Amino acid sequence: MRLLLALLLPWLQFFTIGRPFAGLICLVLQITLIGWIPAAIWSVYALSQYKTDRKIARALASR
């Protein structure tokens, strides 16, 4: 679900992972049609990093 959100509304996805400042920057980037593709790529990348960070935190907590 977050991946679809990252592609359609990249700026909103940043708010769901707790990065509101990046979300505002992404919104400014997304306002231009040319900036939509870089905003979506950035959003998908940030989502993948968020998932990786959560997996690492879970692994360290289970030690």
- 26-41 as b/e: b if 16+ CB within 10 A: bbebbeeeebeeebbe
pTM (predicted TM-score): 0.84
7-53: pLDDT as tens digits = 889 999 999 999 999 999 999 988 887 888 999 999 999 999 999 99
